[in-house]
């Protein structure tokens, strides 16, 4: 299908008039959809919004500011700020950007892909000269917008040496595999996992992949009955642990690996509530190394994620990119296995 010829000379940047012409409405109607959508009939608003999305339109005022290189703002799209580990990384990102006179705009998508598209568009419309995102799993429309308007961008929280896009993060597969290897070396064979929700979440998927790979190396698998996906929350972790424990003792897991520390907190609380000794009867491990981990009793074995360093390096990548430099496009940071009291050898009958 041949792309529609825009009225303006720069075809990569459609104008308000281009949107109006394509949608068969007036420029005033397009303006109302953008600024006062409640005043426009649902059917007409949907038609105009679809045209805006298809053409990749951004409001002219901000586009002009960006073209003249006057914007000193960076956008960050994150799935949630309920996660303390994300908040820590974003704080470090903001501090480093501020040192060079940049302002950070943050949008929270709630793991909702249509919402993420709207929010990345809004960040760009509000002057974001570059975009940082969590993970690599994003809608194609986001990449289309970034390419069309030539915004530098990078992932955080994930590293892939073969990534076609810049990334500042760590290898989630390798980190989860290291944690699982440690649990297996303690002698555990009935290993379960409480994963974060994997849909549109490459970090959660890769951690599951790492656990499965480590088990497979020893001729073991992650049985369906020993695998649960849950959303982020302590109660979610408790409910998942309750499901895994609700079976005869000989079928229970002797170790539970959790996709993040918050799920592990809930799992630990539920196991203790059920009268189990941790780690005497069951071992529990998490992922992130939140500050609370070392204050629990027992302390939580987990994987330390360098969130602050990641945020600072992502900021430096963006600053260098906007200054016309050539920063490294892929930066891998090490994680660290932190062994505490929540893991030990399986029970004698395990």
Residue 87 sits in the same domain as residue 161: yes
DSSP tally for the chain: helices H, then strands E: 12, 12
* pLDDT value of residue 32: 87
Domain boundary residue, one of 6, 24, 57: 57
Residue 176 sits in the same domain as residue 299: yes
Residue with tokens 């799935």: 79
d(CA 115, CA 92) in angstroms, rounded, equals 25
d(CA 222, CA 239) in angstroms, rounded, equals 19
* pLDDT value of residue 349: 75
Residue 34 sits in the same domain as residue 156: no
Q: Phi first, then psi: what are they for 113, rounded to 5°?
A: -65, -45
Query: How many CB atoms are closer than 10 A to CB 68?
Result: 8
* pLDDT value of residue 61: 52
* pLDDT value of residue 286: 98
Can you give the C-alpha Rg of the chain in angstroms? 24
Residue 102 sits in the same domain as residue 198: no
Domain CATH number, residue 52:
1.10.260.40
For the record, the structure tokens of 339 come out as 């062994």
Residue 322 sits in the same domain as residue 299: no
* pLDDT value of residue 94: 97
Comparing CA positions, the residue from 142, 221, 203, 182 lying closest to residue 301 is: 182
Answer whether 45's CB lies under 8 Å from 33's CB. yes
Residue 218 sits in the same domain as residue 291: yes
Domain count, the chain: 3
Q: Does residue 256 belong to any structural domain of this protein?
A: yes
Answer whether 215's CB lies under 8 Å from 188's CB. no
d(CA 159, CA 151) in angstroms, rounded, equals 20
Q: Does residue 1 belong to any structural domain of this protein?
A: no
Residue 206 sits in the same domain as residue 288: yes
Domain CATH number, residue 165:
3.40.50.2300
d(CA 149, CA 142) in angstroms, rounded, equals 11
Each residue's pLDDT, cut to its tens digit, for the chain (350 residues) gives 344 545 544 556 788 899 999 999 998 998 888 877 888 999 999 999 889 988 888 775 555 555 545 578 999 999 988 888 999 999 999 999 999 889 999 999 989 999 999 999 999 988 899 999 999 999 999 999 999 999 999 999 999 999 999 999 999 999 999 999 999 999 999 999 999 999 999 999 999 999 999 999 999 999 999 999 999 999 999 999 999 999 998 899 999 999 999 999 999 999 999 999 999 999 999 999 999 999 999 999 999 999 999 999 999 999 999 999 988 899 999 999 999 999 999 998 76
Residue 32 sits in the same domain as residue 50: yes
* pLDDT value of residue 39: 86
Q: Does residue 247 belong to any structural domain of this protein?
A: yes
pTM > 0.85: yes or no: no
d(CA 258, CA 230) in angstroms, rounded, equals 10
Residue 210 sits in the same domain as residue 298: yes
Answer whether 222's CB lies under 8 Å from 159's CB. no
Residue 126 sits in the same domain as residue 196: no
Q: Where are the beta strands (DSSP E) in the chain?
A: 73-78, 103-108, 128-134, 153-156, 167-169, 191-196, 227-230, 255-258, 283-285, 302-304, 330-332, 336-338
What is the span of the domain harbouring residue 123? 71-170+307-335
C-beta contacts of 158-162 below 8 A and 24+ residues apart: 158/202, 158/203, 158/206, 159/330, 159/331, 159/332, 159/333, 160/136, 160/330, 161/330, 161/332
* pLDDT value of residue 9: 45
Q: Phi first, then psi: what are they for 216, rounded to 5°?
A: -60, -35
């Amino acid at each position: 299908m041949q792309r529609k010829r825009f009225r303006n000379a720069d075809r990569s940047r459609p104008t308000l008039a281009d949107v109006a012409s394509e949608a068969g409405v007036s420029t005033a109607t397009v303006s109302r959809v953008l600024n006062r959508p409640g005043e426009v009939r649902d059917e007409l608003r949907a038609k105009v919004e679809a045209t805006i999305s298809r053409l990749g339109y951004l409001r002219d005022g901000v586009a002009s500011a960006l073209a003249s290189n006057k914007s000193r703002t960076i956008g960050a799209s994150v799935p949630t700020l309920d996660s303390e580990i994300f908040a820590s990384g974003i704080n470090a990102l903001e501090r480093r950007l501020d040192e060079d006179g940049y302002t950070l705009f943050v949008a929270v998508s709630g793991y909702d892909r249509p919402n993420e598209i709207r929010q990345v568009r809004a960040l760009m419309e509000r002057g974001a000269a570059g975009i940082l995102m969590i993970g690599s799993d994003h809608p194609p429309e986001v990449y289309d917008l970034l390419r069309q308007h030539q915004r530098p961008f990078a992932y955080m929280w994930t590293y892939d040496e073969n990534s076609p896009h810049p990334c500042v993060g760590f290898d989630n597969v390798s980190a989860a595999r290291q944690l699982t290897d440690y649990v297996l070396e303690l002698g555990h064979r009935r290993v379960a996992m409480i994963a974060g929700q994997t849909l549109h979440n490459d970090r959660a998927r890769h951690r599951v992949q790492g656990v499965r790979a480590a088990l497979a190396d020893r001729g073991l698998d992650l049985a369906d009955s020993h695998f649960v996906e849950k959303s982020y929350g302590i109660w979610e972790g408790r409910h998942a642990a309750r499901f895994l424990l609700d079976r005869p003792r000989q079928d229970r897991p002797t170790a539970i690996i959790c996709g993040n520390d918050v799920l592990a907190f809930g799992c630990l609380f539920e196991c203790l509530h059920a009268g189990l000794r941790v780690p005497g009867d069951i071992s529990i491990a998490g992922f992130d190394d939140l500050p609370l981990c070392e204050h629990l009793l027992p302390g939580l074995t987990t994987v330390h994620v360098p969130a602050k360093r990641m945020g600072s390096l992502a900021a430096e990548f963006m600053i260098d990119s906007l200054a016309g430099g050539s920063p490294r496009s892929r930066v891998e940071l090490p994680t660290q296995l932190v062994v505490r009291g929540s893991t030990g050898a399986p029970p004698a009958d395990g």
